[in-house]
Structure 1
Amino acid sequence: MLRYLQLLTQGTDATNSGTARHHRNREGSDTTTEQASSHANGLEDKLTSETHLRRFTETVLDSRQQEIEDREMEKDELVLRVEALENELASTQRQLEEAQDQVFRLQPCRKDITESEAKDAYKTLVGNVQRWVENRAGHVIDELETGRLMSRAAPPEGSRLVTLLREQSRRCINVSQSDEFQIMGAIMNYLHITMFSKSFYCPLDDGDDGGTAVWIDELEETMSQLQRALTYQPAFKARRQRYINFVVDDLTSLLSIIVPRTPPADLQASVRRSIVEPAADLVHQLHLAPSIYSLKWPARSASTRLEVYQCFNLANGGTPIDLSGTKSSSPARRNVMYLFDIAPGLFVERIEDGRKLGLKAIVKPTVLVTNAGGDISQGPTVMRWLWDGIPSSQGSSRSASRASSARRPAGSSVSSSGRSRY
């Protein structure tokens, strides 16, 4: 009986112990499950974030790829346009060279080199220098690379070659792998100094002073400023004065018709002092200026372009009326009517670096307008009187002045550009 009770007690303890272990195992399992679930949720969130990031990255890459493709298409279009323009330029240059060749062929006494021939010949010269350097300078460059060259003293005549290097070449004298190009540059500079930069590449006389070459230099300088040089001739002042006297006499004769009561001497002095001599002094300076000056009358479309002219208002006694910045449809020009031209304008084309700049108005052309509105008042005028006095056999072909048909020195008259329109 006692043994039975002992066994029963041990069995109960074992049962209780097993139950406790099961409890602990269950609690541990629950904890593990919670941890696994939390970890899974974290992985899921991370995966979602990575997915969003990947999609965003793909979108950005797709957009960038599209931009690159668009730029490539634009680049291809620009390349095609550049090629077309280059072909057009080459065609134009060929046409120009052919035209120049034709001009030269029309001169049988001369056989001048054409631009295309000169271009090809110079390219050949430069190519010859380059190949010579490549074939001849290899040995000294090899000695430099092996170190043997630096162990020897440089010959005295080497200093002359260095002096042929231009300023920028000297700044790059330590650049490696540049020797062939430096030597080429020195050779071409030598050719330029000894031949290409001279008036003539070899002596033209047996003298030691180079007198003929000096004379050519002086002649070239004179030809570049021919008009100014001609004004320095002793006979120029006399020729100029004779022409001024002619213009004064001619203009005085014309104006005496409308001022008959003024003594001829007084009228002549007035015309000379107030009109002719100031005009002659001005045109003298204009024609010797480096820029191109010209007089231009208003264009035939002046009535629609009053904004570019200086306008005198007939309805207000000839006072100026400012129409700049207006248009033909502007309210300020509603009643303004163009009448006729008063004076041409003064224009200039500047020359900078051998190029002409745009035409610029220094003084606007002057025109007469009226803003009275309605019909223009009609009545007798002196000009009509003079016109009616013209013999019918001469009519409108009659010359207004002997100066218009007289022989003039070239470039001595302001009115030489009077046919130009603006």
Structure 2
Amino acid sequence: MPPDKGQGTIPLDDMRSRPSNGHAVLRKERKSTKSGDREQDKDKDKSKDKDKDRDEEPRERTTKDSRKEKEKETGKSDDKPPEDQEHRDDAPGGREVDLHDFDAVEVTESVAPDLVPPRRYNLNVPAPFLEGPSSDDDEFDMTQIPGSIYASAESFDSMESESFTPRRRLSNGGGPRDEAATRDQAQLKQLRDTVIRLTVEKESAEREAARAMQQLQELKHLLNSDMEQIAKDADSLGQEINRLKDENHLLREELNDAQSHIFSLQPYRKDLTPEEVGRQFDDLVEQVQDWVQKFMDPWLDDYEAGVEALVTGARKQSGEAAKFRRTLQKYPDLVHGCMFPETDEDIIVAIIMRYLNDHIFQKVLYGSGQQYTEMVSFIETQMQTAVEPKRDLFAVRTWTAESYNALMSAPQFKSVRARRSKDMTLDLADILRIFCKKDKFTWFCQNMEDNCVKPAMALYEKIQVSTHHFYLDIQPYISWSGSRLSLSPEFVESIDKLDCRNILQNRKAFNMAKLDPQPTKRDLYVNLLNVCTVVPALYIRQIGQRDAIKAPAVVRKQQMLVAWGPEEKRDKFTEEGDPSLVSHLWFPKSRKRGDGWLG
């Protein structure tokens, strides 16, 4: 369909963003249609030849050139009469467009809409000329214009192909408009290259994405395979675990049977040796001695002040002093020992050790649980007399030890042990309370229990469950004869079984084998004086098979204080030394130490 007169296409370069020109007034074309067609055909041929040359030239375009082109194009209308110019200026955003601007034929090609963003143009294009003469100055009535023509970028699908040819304008001759078209072509060329490059990058990215997706699928497949294998392995492991549990249960039952058989063939426990019991007994004695030294040091560091405080305390606390004297009176050798200087700590240690021996080592289960101990004793007697065949002493002793072990291991016995420990601690601390400050009695009791009572109970429970019989024994060799002290002559006869310490030589061990010359019996009776017994002896009676009982053997000798030397030397030591603190509690002021206590 041939184009209408005075109506042309929108050039590509006019697709740039411009101010709205909706109020422009179009003039009629002066030339005839036929001549215009002939000129357009010629311009088309020329523009085709020029387009081939333009494709080879650089294609850059700037906004500044575009503005210059606008000025040149609008400059044609500036030659019009001032009235027309004034009329154009009065229109809002209006611009007078001459029909000569549309005398060139426009050749357009589609551009991809994603490359050239669509723009909306509102152009008032005149309808086809009405029949009749018209002049150049005639203006179209705005009512004759059919409406706004919207120019927008059409679909530019062909830009992605290599046959894309940008829209270009064919004109009758060169000029600024041709240069602008060249720049447009260069810009479109650049856009095409960009599209090609982006297309290549897109295809490369798609290939990479496809490759990554393939790798992901492979990993998923591998993971699924691994999970299936793990599930299979888990099932097999679960079956193996169940099988091993069953096997372990059977093996444990067999082991328990074997252990029971082994236990039936061996002794019930590893029996105690004399060396082991002796070491623990030494530890007990050392703990007691250290504790006594600790609480007696304040009294002995300053002798005069200690005597004054003790005598004053005895007057104020007569009941406590009387209780200590009653305890001391039960042990005549300790009364004899307090007549010698520097014997206070030894006497206190002796009192503690004898209390532990009387209330722990000489009792059965600390004197508690009498109904149980009587039952054990009854069964033990029946095993020796009424059972047929009769049991030997070793079997009876083993059964007795196991019975006591069961009683002391019972949960109910823990409370019995704790109660007896507390009772014995308070009783022993009350005996020695005369040597304790009032504000330190709690501390005194706590240390008495930790250093004396509890270690003694631990040693007793160990020897109580032994097949062999361990026991403590004490022989002071001094006794009361009325109101006087009597020394036993058996002391000299038993000197080899005693651990004697000479107070005249700072408690040096007395060993007859090392004396030179060897003393005779008469020398011993005359020059060796028994002072007191400090620590009882530890003995053992070993029980053998078939009622074989060995004679008692000494594990630890009885510890004693002696005075070895002439009588003059003993008297000098007594007179020059400070009397013991215990002697101030025992002897009344009216009696002197040498007044007839020895018989």
TM-score category by the smaller chain?
0.3 to 0.5
| TM-score normalised over the length of structure 1 | 0.37
Q: Could you say which structure has the larger radius of gyration? A: 2
| TM-score normalised over the length of structure 2 | 0.26
Which structure ranks higher in relative contact order (CA pairs < 8 Å, sequence separation ≥ 6)?
A: 2
